[in-house]
Structures are given as C-alpha cells and as structure tokens.
A = this chain, B = another copy of it.
Amino acid sequence: MKLASLKHGRDGRLVVVSRDLTRATDAFIVVPTLQQALDEWERCAPALEALAEQLEHGSVPSFRFHEHACAAPLPRAYARRHAAAWPGYPALLRQAAGAEAPAGEAGGLRHAASDAFLGPRDTLSADDPAASLDLSAGLAAITGDVPRGADAAEGAIRLVTLLAEVIRHDRLRPDGLDLDGADAPALAASLGPVAVTPDELGAAWRDGSLHRPLLVSRNGKALGCPDAGADLGRSLVALVAEAARHRGLGAGTLITAGPVSNRGIDGGPGRPAEEGGAGYACLAEARAAEALTAGWARTPYLTAGDRLRVEMKDAGGHSIFGAIEHDVSS
C-alpha cells in the first residue's frame, strides 16, 4: 500500500493513496498519524491495507490526491541514521579533494536530524550564498520495532520512500563531518510525498534494496538517473541490521542512504547525463567529476531560482513515490 501525510499540525494527517497516486482516502477511522500507525502496526496495517484495496475498487469515499498538499510521510521522527551507502560518492569527493580515506571509515551510520522534514514541495532558502548548498538524493526506509542484534532485518522495513538532503559543502570535511568536528552539515531534508510498503515494489525490491533509477533533474534538465540497485555498498536491509547491532530501533526509525552514485564503465567517475552516462544524484558529485576530468567544476551549487526534482518510476514508467520538487528562493 501507499501512505502519505497531508499537511496538518506537527504530525500530518494520514491518508491512504491509490497505486497511481491520483486519489486518496482518509485513514482517520483507523489511526490519525503515520507515527501512531507504526507504533501499533500489527493492529493498523491490516485495516489500512483493507482501505487501500477499497480505494482501488472505488468502494470508499476518496478525494483527488495532490502531492503539493503533502507533508513528509513522517513530518518528525524519533530517530534517523544515515549512511553514504554508495561508496562511489565519498570516494570521488575525496579524490577530487586530494584527501585520504579516513582511517577505518566505511560509510558508517551517523545519527542525523529527523525532527523537521520538509514537505516534498516546500521552497528551499539559499539565503547564504557562501554556503555552497547542494541537494543530495537517496532513499529512506522506515522501520518497525527492531530488537537489538536482530538478524531478521528484512521484515523490519515497513515503508520505503525518497530522500533529499540539503547539504552545506563549505562546512564539509572529507570524512563527512562538519569543520568544527560536530554534525554532518545537512541543513534540511525532505522525504518523498508517498511512502510505500516493500510488497508494493514488486521485482524492483530485492536483495534488501530498491533496484530502479533515481531521476534527478535541475530546471527540467537531467542531472542524473543512477540506478539505486547498482554500485551499492550496503543494502537498506543491511543498514537496518547494522543500526540495530548495539541497540534496538523504535517504530518509525528512519534508515537513510544517499546520494545514489553509479561508477563509470572503467570504475571511475560516472559520465554526465548529457553525455549519455548515468549522471549524478547531487551537485557535489557532478562538480567532483568535472574537476577530475575537465580540471574545473562547471556545475554551480544551488542558486536562487533553481528547481530541483527527484523521482523514481516503476518499470511501466509510473511514479512510485511521487516527486520531491523544491524551488530555491533567495
């Protein structure tokens, strides 16, 4: 099934969305918010699945679904752990910076902010021109309760959606930490309009991850379409298991990974989308590839007036999660 949270208060109003993303029905008769549904998943999921089926058959009152009316599926979550799960990205950034890989670094999971996800169509502010702002696109898994040391991480993922993070590159060290040794410098993050249960993803969901190209564009022009199932260091399911190694995860934990990054045929930087390559899922990787191949980074960071769009389509060309689309204001 497909679930979304319409903008309403701090936690949104849960709706069940049709497979084709055109219609929705209120989930309030089952549960008012997605966090509460995750807290009581065993009770709520069957009732929500029944609503989803009725919605497909037109046997329940429904209304037109508008992605711009959405908050993030979880507007605020109690936990998020993030990993650079596609190793091509950090490797390329380090190579462009002439930096060594930090000792022991392995794209480890970091705690990341989860308390204020932007809506998928909210405007981004680029009010600090020195910040070298980037949008980094990836995936998010929303888990149920996962006991510490769980082996059965496969069944722990309740929902999957898109992720887009606003990163300040002027504050980024090669090891992914902020210059002052504090947080990774994500200023904000958004999730796809719709979160989808893994069973809904069909053959694209296998080996613990999602195997479809992630379509990223800027001002209508493709930045990249790297395959989220290719060149993946660790799957979403492997990341959930790693996150639960030393402490359990609570229902509604987000395990996020990004940016998606495909290597070139020679194992080096992928080629730009405009040259027929898979391109990039963030501006920094495009810039690093340009710096290494052409000697200078041509692609500018986020600029007022930009429109960034992130989407993933199924094998039939239909949008799976709806699109994240942010206009950048000054």
Contacts and interface: CB of A to CB of B under 8 A. Distances in A.
A250 interface: yes
B113 A248 contact: no
Given A10-B39, A108-B178, A188-B247, A79 B115 contact: yes
Interface of A: 10, 39, 76-79, 81, 83, 102, 104-106, 108-116, 168, 175-185, 187-188, 246-250, 253
A181 B102 contact: yes
B104 A180 contact: yes
Contact of A183 (B77, B109, B182): B109
A108 B184 CA distance: 11
Contacts of A114: 78-79
B108 A183 contact: yes
User: Of A76, A111, A114, which is in contact with the most chain B CB atoms at under 10 Å from its CB?
Assistant: A111
B79 A113 contact: yes
A176 B181 CA distance: 9
Contacts of A39: 10
Contacts of A177: 177
Nearest to A180: B108
A187 B247 contact: yes
